[in-house]
A and B are shown apart, each in its own frame.
Chain A
Amino acid sequence: MVALPDWMALAPALSLALASLVLLLADSVDPDTTNTGLLAGISVLGSLLSFGFAGWFITAGTGMADSTGVALFNNQLVVDQMALFFMAIVGSVTTLVVLASYDYVAEHSYQAEFFVLVLLSATGMSLLSAANSLATAFVALELVSLPSYALVAFLKENKGSVEAGLKYFLIGAVSSAVLAYGISLVYAATGVLRFDGVATAISSGTVQTIVDGSVQAQAGDPAVPMAILGVGILMIIGGVAFKTASVPFHFWAPEAYEGAPAPISAFLSSASKAAGFVLAFRAFAVAFPIGDLLAAGGAINWVMAFQILAIATMFIGNFAAATQETVKRMLAYSSVGHAGYVLIGLAAVSGSGEGLSLSMSAGMSHLLVYGFMNTGAFLFIALAEYWGVGRRFEDYNGLGREAPVACAAMTVFLFSLAGLPIGGGFFSKFYLFQATLNVSAWSLAAALIINSALSLFYYSRVVKAMWIEEPTGSRTIESYPMGLYTAVVGAALVTVLLLPGFNRVSEIAFQAAQLL
């Protein structure tokens, strides 16, 4: 193994940041450049590099040697298996998104800014994966959010886009406030922000402090006020729920996804959601160990909170998706529903805190597969928008005859999202199901089954429109954009390949979850 300096562990995040700086440089050399090829090229290179680093580190075993991984900046950041897993998801989704954006933004101005924002947001996600303290997590989260508000409103001439951006921003502001308040309460209750410190405080029941980088009990051994801690944790759940578009913080999602440029919808619904989940996984597995919390008494049982949220999110997302008239909005709601599935990762835990590794790795695996299939589906929408195909289900009628390759890819995405054994989505959902059975969480299992069945209904509406229905109006597809096609077909390929390759993914995820 090549000996790299410790800071190189952050290479996946750094390469994204570097690429955004190079883009800014290019933009300042030639403002208002329309050389999309160059800009997209730099972005693709940066994000591919990020993905490559993450993949390399995972296979080379960074963070595997010991459970702490590579700790940086006084333990503020930790690069371990879990971080790398999510960095890989972010890197791959970002690659697909910027690749697809090459065609999408070609006709718009401020192209460099678009790519810079995407990459900065991705940098935030990558950093968030490694955040090991509530403070860095909050900063990273804001780095994710702020560029995405601007990106949603990127189509300045489009009222829908601007409105969506504003709504997203407002809800985001509320949610950030809730999260920041929650963090402050946790700090007030435990005296520390670092995850391991919070955990020590909870398990020992005394307020802690950090001296020279190590966690110690505060003088006088003041006790942790469990009620305040509980409120704080619940508010952090709120912040996470916003980022992952879970009920009741999901209201922004359908509108933002619909109004935003389709590649950005893909980006937000896949990578941004994954970033929200990595924060949740790490915070709740490391900082708020459920076993200690329950033992302490009087504090919050966050497993139950996540169970409620998971079930509500699954039902609301899927039921609302079933009655939508436009494809993009349907996908937006289905993405809410999928957040519910992934929440099972934190909800399928037994009363004594058993089964967390299994359920979390199931959630992580689902996020990875979802990163490809959902991104691909939104990119297909981008393709449809590029062609000027309408937004409604009927507008997709007979599209399969004109663009068979793209429609075949879309079919793979949709069926995989529904959980049919055509792509990795089958196994990841099955894995989640196993996780619920593992701890006899029947209500979760039932909700998963019911909603998957329902989702098959609305997903197949699109498939039916594309392949079975007769085309209604006259429609001519003039060009087949290379970037979008590459991204869509690539995502489909990976989705299918994840069917045989799922075993490897779940192994890595399980290992990562266990190492926490």
Chain B
Amino acid sequence: MAAFTYAPAIVLLPFVSFLVALFAGDRMPKGGALAGITATGGSLLLSIWVALTVAGGAVHNEILYQWTTSVETLQLNFGLLLDPLSALMLLIVCLISFLVHIFSLGYMNDEGETGLPRYYGGLGLFTASMLGFVVANNLLMAFMFFELVGLCSYLLIGFWFRQDGPPSAAKKAFLVTRFGDYFFLIGVVGIFATFGTGLFAPITQGGEVVAESFPMLAEHAIVDGEVEGIAMLETVGMGPQAWFTVLGLLVLGGVVGKSAQFPLHTWLPDAMEGPTPVSALIHAATMVAAGVYLVARMYGFYALSPTALAVIALIGGFTALFAATMGLVKQEIKQVLAYSTISQYGYMMLALGSGGYVAAVFHLTTHAVFKALLFLGAGSVIIAMHHNENMWDMGGLKDRMPVTYWTFLAGSLALAGIVPFAGFWSKDEVLYEALIHGFGTEGGLGTVYLAAYAMGLLAVFFTGFYTFRMVYLTFHGDARSDTARDPEPVRWNVKGPLTVLGILATTIGFINMAPVAKLTGAHIDFLHTWLSGPEEGGWPELLSTDLHHYEELLHEVPHVDPAYPLGGEITTLLASAAVSLGLALAGVLVARSLYAGADPVEHTDKLGGLKTLLMHNYYQDEYQVWLATGVTYPLARVMNKFDQGVVDGVVNGISSVSLFGGSRIRRIQSGVVSNYATLLTLGLVLLLAAFGIMGGWF
């Protein structure tokens, strides 16, 4: 397939733009922006081509470059895996990155920022890393690009390094995600040690499997009991399911860090210190999406472990609710969006954990669009407000910047989950899947799903509330400051991306209107079809990364099955949709009643002590800082004492013993030759005697 031949260029183009911006950016017009736009535009076109080819039923899984081999069978490779999931993700990343590049013209160039080559270089590398991660066909390559993504986020969040906040936020993002990546790395090593391969999908040649993938090996071990080839199980002394759960949870550490799930979510709100287009990129398509994408990528592995699924679902549901409550009281527009991101990724985790693979990918897609839209809209507002981000200084921007308002409203409706905007469809599907699987699954797993569902459902109300609190405070009522009365106008390069994303946020939900499909019986759940592939043969058989395979696995191993508590499937579906829509609308209405007036007042004070708690984000930062200073630091000091006292003491002791011994040995060398002859003879006699007695010579 010609498209697959050119697929590496999707990754390489942004990388080239990184090099161009870095080395020639200051000699180019717009500081390298045009190179970035060209490159991401080119990548977008290629991605579309790839997606069309994949839609034609072709998939691609090939090793491009083998960079290490050893006497054992272990090989380390770079390779491409292009299946419907990665093709879809490529589209999302390229599209968002392309629009962010254009938007940056307005946000960075027009605002007269300095250091633009560094900025565009960072964007290029960021995009390239994420694309490399998306197409990676094995875990180690994924890990490497995962780390590159982390590095780029560090560079971009800390872009304004001369101020106090950004470098500190960048460091925090780097350290917190690195904490999770530490577990991920152990997981990667563990998976390689266990299976001898990190491939996500088997590589086939002419129908024959030439290299098996680790999810498939794990499946054979658990489903068919083929554990002979896995020596690691004996080493760790665990059953296959227990050990694979450990491995899955280790990898999940990296996911939790990158996708900003509780308790490693604390870096994300601080990351708002970076330029707003970067925030859009981080939140919508790259960094944060990487975690969830990784779980989806190796879903065949997670589907084998009910424990891992339960943990994922629980983390997701809890994070969705937890982050939503924190978003209620924030005063800065980007802070609200940051918490909403955490919350929305919680939904995706909830979906993955509760067996809603399509729902997760669907929400990942819609969220990418409407969150990018909201951030770019917020960026537009920030330009207008001369970089004042406090919502209480805004108000009444509706009439002065209509394009921003209407697109932002579309994004907000999508985020709040109001029909028919994108978020409604995907979020509804997430909750629906959690609900039916919660009722249908036996034992503890089902209970976990129901608990997670309850938290997710409650979060819907809060989402509606904080979203529209933000909309009302920003755009409605009277202007509350001079800048809001006379905002700076924005140009086409801001309005263009907003318009594109606004249209998409309104319509992208139509790619998988599952409720409508169920009601009418029409086959309009395109994403579902896209991910499950043809019924017989085709790529699902080749790669086994298809939905159908995952559903079978979920049914067979953790026994995740649907059940419909309210009569039939249709009634349950409608009831679920109605409940979530109702809650979202309730949230919106409450926000309207509190903040819609011409001159809204702060109601947060009425929350009393709760407000303080929420404003301080449940003291998450405080307790993590306390963990560092109150636990780790004293522990480190004790270790240091131990090192200085005991280890160094032993070392010093050894050295003084050595020197003392040395001086004693030296003294044997008396300089008197007859002594030497005596000692020599004595030594020989001693040896003779010893060996004589041993050998029984006497």
Residues of A with Cβ closer than 8 Å to B?
Answer: 166-167, 170-171, 174-175, 178, 226-227, 230-231, 234-235, 237-238, 247-249, 251-252, 254-255, 298-301, 305, 308, 316, 319-324, 454, 457
Contact = CB atoms under 8 A, between A and B. Distances in A.
Contact of A167 (B655, B658, B663, B673): B673
Contacts of A252: 676
A301 B690 CA distance: 11
Nearest to A312: B683
B666 A305 contact: no
A249 B680 contact: yes
A220 B673 CA distance: 48
Contact of B676 (A167, A300, A308, A323): A167
Contact of B691 (A166, A170, A255, A300): A300
B609 interface: no
A40 B183 CA distance: 66
B695 A323 contact: no
Contacts of A170: 673, 677
5 contacts: A166-B673, A230-B692, A249-B683, A323-B663, A323-B665
B662 A251 contact: no
B687 to A, nearest CB: 6
B608 interface: no
A111 to B, nearest CB: 29
B661 interface: yes
B695 A171 contact: no
B688 interface: yes
Contacts of A454: 658
A249 B681 CA distance: 9
Contact of A174 (B655, B677, B691): B677
A162 B681 CA distance: 24
Looking at B659, B669, B677, B691, the one whose CB has the most chain A CB atoms below 10 A away is B691
Interface in B631-661: 655, 658-659, 661
B695 A247 contact: no
Nearest to A451: B658
B697 interface: yes
Given A238-B684, A298-B697, A323 B691 contact: no
Contact of A234 (B669, B673, B691): B691
Contacts, number: 85
A292 B128 CA distance: 67
A164 B227 CA distance: 70
B658 A251 contact: no
A320 B695 contact: no
A167 B677 CA distance: 10
Contacts of A457: 655
A238 B658 CA distance: 27
Given A171-B673, A305-B691, A322-B658, A248 B665 contact: no
Contacts of A255: 669, 671
Interface of B: 655, 658-659, 661-663, 665-666, 669, 671, 673, 676-677, 679-684, 687-688, 691-692, 694-698
A128 B644 CA distance: 53
Contacts of A231: 688, 692, 697
A178 B676 CA distance: 15
Contacts of A230: 691-692, 695, 697
B683 A248 contact: yes
Contacts of B677: 170-171, 174
Contacts of B666: 320, 323-324
A457 B662 CA distance: 13
B691 to A, nearest CB: 5
Nearest to B660: A323
Contacts of B691: 230, 234, 300-301, 305
B430 to A, nearest CB: 55
Given A299-B695, A322-B662, A254 B688 contact: no
A169 to B, nearest CB: 10
Contacts of A234: 684, 687-688, 691
Contacts of A249: 680, 683
Contact of B695 (A237, A251, A298, A308): A298
A373 to B, nearest CB: 22
Nearest to A174: B677
B318 to A, nearest CB: 50
B665 A316 contact: yes
A166 B677 CA distance: 13
Contacts of A227: 692, 695-698
Given A301-B694, A320-B666, 16 more contacts: A167-B673, A171-B676, A226-B697, A227-B696, A230-B695, A231-B688, A231-B692, A238-B687, A248-B679, A248-B684, A249-B680, A251-B679, A254-B669, A298-B697, A301-B695, A457-B655
B38 to A, nearest CB: 45
A273 B334 CA distance: 77
B683 to A, nearest CB: 3
Contacts of A298: 695-697
A352 to B, nearest CB: 18
B493 to A, nearest CB: 55
Contacts of A323: 659, 662-663, 665-666
A320 B669 contact: yes
B680 A251 contact: yes
A249 B683 CA distance: 8
Q: Which 10 A-B pairs have the closest CB atoms?
A: A248-B683, A227-B697, A323-B662, A251-B676, A319-B662, A320-B665, A322-B662, A167-B673, A323-B663, A319-B661
